[in-house]
Every structure is written in structure tokens, then in C-alpha cells.
Amino acid sequence: MSINFYLGDNLQFGKAPILIKIQDRKYRISIRRKTGLSIQPVLWEQKNNYQSLSKLSKNRDIIETLALLEEIKERITQMHVEGAKITSLLVKDCIDRIIYVDYPNKTGQNNPMTLSRYIDNYFNDIKEGNKKTVNGTPYKQGTINSIKQVIDHFRAFEKEQKRLLNFEDITMDFYYKYIDYLTKRGFAPNTIGKDIKWLKTFLYSAESDGLNNNKFYRNKRFRTCREYVDSIYLTQDDLKRIRSVDLSGKASGYTLARDIFFIGVLTAQRVSDYNHIKLEDMQHVRDYSDAFNKSSDYTENESGQESNKYMVINFIQKKTGVRVTVPCNPQVIEIMNKYNFNMPYLPEQKLNKYIKEIAKEAGLTELIKTEKTRGGIRTTEYIPKYKLITSHTARRTGVTHMYLSGMELSDIMSISGHTQVKTLMQYIKADKLQVIRNRFHDYSFFKG
């Protein structure tokens, strides 16, 4: 049986994760998994160069890491010689026993479920499709990757504490230490808030399953944190300039990206919904209530044309499962008609790349003041407007222009799918002067 260690690709804070690879053709063993340890790549290259390594002998972390790897290798080899069946779970258990202090015994039916094992099971259920979203749909791969990142942060904290945390360890003292740990490692408030939110989800689920009796996580002080992101929206002049850019000399993807982006603006949907609209998503109606009645028929005038009707697009939003119906702006019909009412799909990464380049050519280069927090430090930066434009800018722009047109908030929400006014208002990015100019000029109170 061969046991080797190698470095992963994902660098964090200058260190790469150390992975273990175990193979044995005779016993059909092929295992690859993370060890929970990490090291600087340059030091890993010198690990067998004792002359170079001797210079680092005073660095306890490096020497301890290499010693732990050697102990892991010896322990697994010993178990194999003693006839144990080497499995991925057995390897994980072996590694945890070596790395963490007072590692709880997981063998035996009478031992209680630990928080660490519960989180592993929860995540595996999500990956395998056994655990669904609140809408009964499987989790998207992006969400799965996001949850894995949350768990990786939690595991790294456990490693620093040199112990696996259990349900009873989740106290306010843990909360403050964990927030401090994530902040010192340079994570933004929204990332930290996501980590706390998912940890509370794990704890709530374990409580519902009768496995967690510790309710400290329900304390009002045990809260998620969030930083207001100063995102942009595009003015009518911005949109006009983007629309007027000559794309005849560019690849067809640029024109498609612009068309998809404008549909996003005119429908105020998320990119997962407005990218790749099909003919069957659209419907003729004579009255708004007909949007929910596919069997409605229409009258024709003397010229044989249908009268008093317009088109709507029916969305079932992928993120929330909410059904919304959006009346079609004439520009939407014009764009859809170019593609025979079946919009091609364009990967979001390319959409973002193309629309930024188009906006740059349109002259949207004014500097936008942005503020963000990293590692607890608030910084200010001035960034050209075109660099801040993404696929989500379309939704934010559409919602903002609906608001500036005087549309009632309830009507905007019925289109955008927002369920809370507070969340909707975070999307409305118009400056105060423009709001005053567009919204309050008709009120007599301000004319006296």
C-alpha cells in the first residue's frame, strides 16, 4: 500500500491544503482526501532538503505539520498491517484523532451524534440530493460550493482551536471568538454573515432532529452581520449610450450579451431567469388577469387583427420558486423577434465580460466611490463605472426605473418577486436628487 501527500490548488493566506493519497491495487484501495493541514508551497518543495529545512527548525508550525503527516502515515500503515479495512471514513477518523485534542470517540452505537459529524452528514445529504431547498428543489451547484466554503472556514477554526466543536460548545464566547477569527483572516462582513447564517441553519436542523438541546444560537446577539454594498444602476442616458455602440465589427456574442442584458433591465429579473427566455414562457393577454388563464381566447377587429391585447412573460424564479408575470415592454418584443422568440443562452461569465467592454466603449468611465470592509478595516476606492456593471446590474436598473416612473411598490414587488419592502428598497439605487425630481414634482405640498 502506498501513502503519499501532495498539495491542493486552492491557496488561502499563502498556504495550500495538504491532501493524502492512498492506493493499493490488491485490496482495491484508492482514497484521496484533505488532511486538514496546510503549508506554504515553497516550504513543501524543501521538505526533503534537510539543509534548507534545518534553517526553519525554529518554526514550530512547520515542524509540527511535517511530524503530524508522518504520524498519519505510520498510523494508517499500522492499521492496514493489522488487517483493518482502509476506507475514506476510517482515514478521516484517523486524521482527526491525530490532529485534534480530545477527539470524541465516534465508534459504537451508543455514542451521541456530534456537531462535526452532523455537519458532514447534512452536507452529504445536500450533495446527493437527499436534502432539498424550502421549495423542494435540489440545491444548485453554486450553493453547494458556497456551503462547502462555509464548512471549510469552520474546520479551519477547529484546527486552530485544536479540537472538534460539539453542540454544547456553541456559546456566545464561541460566537465572539469565531467572528474575531474570520475578521482577522480578512473576510468581508457579508462572507462572515453567510458563515454564521449557515451555522445557525445546521444548529436549527439538528435541534429539529432532536440532536441539539443547546439554544444559544437563538440569542439575539448571535446574529448574522451584513455590509451594505454600494452597487450601481444605469441611468437612461447610460442605457442609451450602451444601445448606440456599434458592434458590427465584433463577435456575435457581444450583440447577444447586450440584448440579453436589456431584457434583464426591462423585466427586472435575475440573470438565471432572464437568460434564455423561450417562446413558451410568453403569452398574449387582453387583461392582466388573463395572464393566469392560458385558455383565454381573443376577439378580432375588422382588419382581422387581435385587439386590446399585449404580451407578458411568465417566470417561475429559479432562486425562490415564486411565479411572476411581467408585461412586455415593446423593446422586449423587438429583441425577442430577432431570435424567433427563443433567446440563446450565454454563460454569465461571458455576459459580464462583454457588457463591461461594451459599457467601456460607450464611455461609462466616470469614477464611482466604493467602500468595503476587509479584515475589519474600512477602505475607499474609486472604480470606473463600467467595471462595476454585471448581469445583476440589469435587475437593479429595472427596479430603480420602475420606482422612478412612479410605480407603486406593491406593483414592483409583484414583478420583481421581492416579498419585503426593505429588501426591495436596497435595490433602488437612484440618488436623492433624482428621486425628488421624478417622484415629488406633482405634490402640491412642495409647491407652496
Number of domains in the chain: 3
Other CB atoms within 10 A of residue 326 CB? 25
**Rounded Cα gap, residues 298 and 190, in angstroms:** 50
Angle, alpha carbons 48-53-55 (nearest 5°): 165
Q: Is residue 60 part of a domain?
A: yes
Q: Is residue 336 part of a domain?
A: yes
310: cell is 399585449
Residue position matching grid coordinates 434583464: 264
The three-state secondary structure class of 382 is: strand
Distances (CA, A) of 340 to 281, 313, 334, 335: 13, 15, 10, 9
Could you report the average pLDDT of every consecutive run of 10 residues in the chain (448 residues)?
89 82 90 87 70 58 82 90 87 82 48 78 87 80 90 90 88 92 88 94 90 89 74 91 94 95 95 92 69 39 51 88 89 93 93 96 92 72 92 93 87 90 78 56 52
**Rounded Cα gap, residues 110 and 219, in angstroms:** 31
Distances (CA, A) of 178 to 191, 216, 289: 13, 14, 51
Q: Is residue 108 part of a domain?
A: no
Q: Is residue 372 part of a domain?
A: yes
The residues facing 413 across adjacent strands are: none
Task: Specify the length of the chain in residues.
Answer: 448
**Do residues 31 and 65 share a domain?**
yes
CATH of the domain at 178: 1.10.150
Q: Where in the sequence is the domain holding 242, given as residue range(s)?
A: 236-446
**Do residues 213 and 282 share a domain?**
no
**Rounded Cα gap, residues 242 and 358, in angstroms:** 7
Per-residue pLDDT, 224: 84
Residue type, 353: K
CB 446 within 8 A of CB 440: yes
Q: Is residue 106 part of a domain?
A: no
Longest alpha-carbon distance in the chain: 96
**Do residues 426 and 308 share a domain?**
yes
Domain end residue (candidates: 64, 99, 134): 99
Q: Is residue 177 part of a domain?
A: yes
Residue type, 54: S
**Do residues 266 and 327 share a domain?**
yes
The three-state secondary structure class of 374 is: strand
Task: Report the Cα–Cα distance between both ends of the chain, in Å, rounded.
Answer: 90
338: cell is 430577432
Burial label, 310 (beta-carbon count in 10 A; 0-12, 13-18, 19+): middle
The residues facing 378 across adjacent strands are: 373
**Rounded Cα gap, residues 418 and 227, in angstroms:** 20
Per-residue pLDDT, 92: 85
**Rounded Cα gap, residues 318 and 281, in angstroms:** 14
CATH of the domain at 264: 1.10.443.10
**Do residues 214 and 253 share a domain?**
no
CB 399 within 8 A of CB 412: yes
Bridging pattern class, strands 377-384 and 367-374: antiparallel
- Beta-carbon contacts of residue 340 (< 8 Å; ≥ 6 apart): 279
